[in-house]
Amino acid sequence: MPAHAHTWNSAHRLAVAGGSLLLAGALLHASPAHPSEPAHAPAHATAPETEAHAPATSAPTHATKDQAPAAELSGKTAPAVHGPLSLEQDAAQIALKVQAAMSLAKTRERAQAHVAAASQGKRPHATANSGHGQPSTDISAGTAHQAALQGHAEAHWSYTETGTGPDAWAQLKPEFGACAAGQRQSPVHIQEGSTLQGPAEPLVFDYQPSGGSVVNNGHTIQVDLEGNNTLTVRGSTYQLLQFHFHHPAEEKVDHKGFAMVAHLVHKNAEGQLAVVAVLIDPGAANDLVNKVWTHMPLDVKDRVRLPAALIDMKGLLPQDPRYYQFMGSLTTPPCTEGVLWMVMKQPMTVSREQLKLFSQLFPMNARPTQALNGRVVREAL
């Protein structure tokens, strides 16, 4: 066989093989990703899926270029042969077009895969922040003291560190803005000379021995309670979620400070929070506090389960039922307002040993008092 004929046959076979691959690529490009889906389905994707369409925006340009070889293989006359050199060039061009068609098909598949994933809701999600006064066991309600127990990109805040202390809370996250701009913030300094004195409805506590767990959330020791423990006030019933401690007490009364305070956090069916503050001074040991300290976790985010019915909250309530009442906020970021506060007038006591144990873990975890800004403080007589 002459050399030029052998070259012509090789080029011819290459052209036919390349054309076959081109036809396959064109068919793949023309057919939908799934038999049950129309070819134009991605065009109906919602706005959040716009990014998934980005790789496919160049598809029309490539499709126009690649349709000509496919049409030639489907019935048009093959181009004239001008010699071995022309055939080699034609084969090379066809091979390049086949490669382009295959690349286009892969791009289309990737774009359709992105669209399919987006339509199934596979998108990044943000976790909610946690907040003072809400149980760390319930993500929907948040966690007390913004404890960063969730994996969200939490802003680090503190009580004493420069740049993250109370004066800087509002600058750490936009959601913390109320810590600086709020007009009904807690805690407050109660001065009896300016309170609204008179009769006040009794606080109806219905506390039962309960179990739960103790957690060190990095800002305090908190007890998340189980069972049905309620407070009824102002015509609404609130469920006790948790209680925790501050050292020293955040509240002041007539310029007097207190060694500690326990905050008993309740929530009603409408989602409103009601906090009962029990002031604490050094004195006789408290049996309930002793039970909590016995199960106190030592590491941040560590949690210890409590025996069933161990905690009877009546052991943390003073005998004197009188209280101060005002509207305030969470005392930790995000400093959300609209919280009903009741500060019991009679302090409870803990031993100096009990006080020392807590203070070794939390030497200072109290927010400074905030301006009343004209708020009324009711004092029950």
Tell me the domains of the chain and their CATH numbers: 3-119 (no CATH), 144-150+157-380 (3.10.200.10)
Question: How far is residue 5 from each of residues 17, 96, 276, 355, measured CA to CA in Å?
Answer: 18, 24, 100, 102
Q: What token pair was written down for 298?
A: 């030592």
Could you tell me the pTM of the whole model?
Answer: 0.64
Q: What is the pLDDT of residue 26?
A: 42
| Average of per-residue pLDDT across 302-307 | 98
Q: Which conformational region is residue 155 in: left (phi greater than 0), alpha (psi within -120 to 50 degrees), or beta?
A: beta
Active site residue 156: no
Provide φ and ψ at 285, rounded to 5°: -65, 150
What local confidence, expressed as pLDDT, does residue 41 receive? 36
Q: Tell me the one-letter amino acid at 12.
A: H
Name the band, by pLDDT with cuts 50, 70 and 90, for residue 153.
Answer: low
Amino acid at 273: L
Residues 94, 95, 98, 103, CA torsion sign: negative
Tell me, what's the pLDDT at 108? 57
Residue 288 half-sphere exposure toward CB, CA atoms < 13 A: 20
Helices 287-294 and 352-361, interaxial angle, to 10°?
40
Query: Is pLDDT at 148 greater than 80 in this prediction?
Result: no
Q: pLDDT digit string (tens) for 184-231?
A: 999 999 999 999 999 999 999 999 999 999 999 999 999 999 999 999
Contacts of 55 (CB under 8 A, 6+ apart): 107, 110, 111, 114
Average pLDDT over residues 232-257: 98
Q: pLDDT-based confidence at 68, cuts 50/70/90?
A: very low
Asked whether the predicted pLDDT for residue 49 surpasses 60, the reply is: no
Q: Which residue has the tokens 């609209």?
A: 338
Are residues 184 and 370 in contact, defined by beta-carbon separation less than 8 angstroms? no
Q: Which residues sit opposite 232 in a β-bridge?
A: 204, 237
The CA distances from residue 224 to 215, 260, 324, 371, in Å, are: 8, 19, 25, 30
Catalytic residue among 29, 145, 219, 266: 219
Please report which confidence band the pLDDT of residue 298 belongs to, taking 50, 70 and 90 as the band edges. confident
Please name which of 286, 288, 287, 280 lies closest in space to residue 225, comparing C-alpha atoms. Answer: 288
Give percent of the chain above pLDDT 70.
Answer: 60
Q: Which of 248, 252, 116, 119 is nearest to 189 (CA)?
A: 252
In this structure, the chain runs to a length of 381
Retrieve residue 377's tokens. Answer: 């403080």
Predicted confidence band of residue 48 (pLDDT cuts 50, 70, 90)? very low
- Comparing 375 with 154, the larger pLDDT belongs to 375
Distance between CA atoms of 72 and 88, rounded to whole angstroms? 18
Helix axes 3-30, 59-73, angle to 10 degrees: 130
Pairing label, strands 378-380, 196-198: parallel
- For residues 31 and 80, is the Cβ–Cβ distance under 8 A? no
Q: Which residues, in sequence order, are CB contacts of 193 under 8 Å at separation 6+?
A: none
Higher pLDDT, 127 or 327: 327
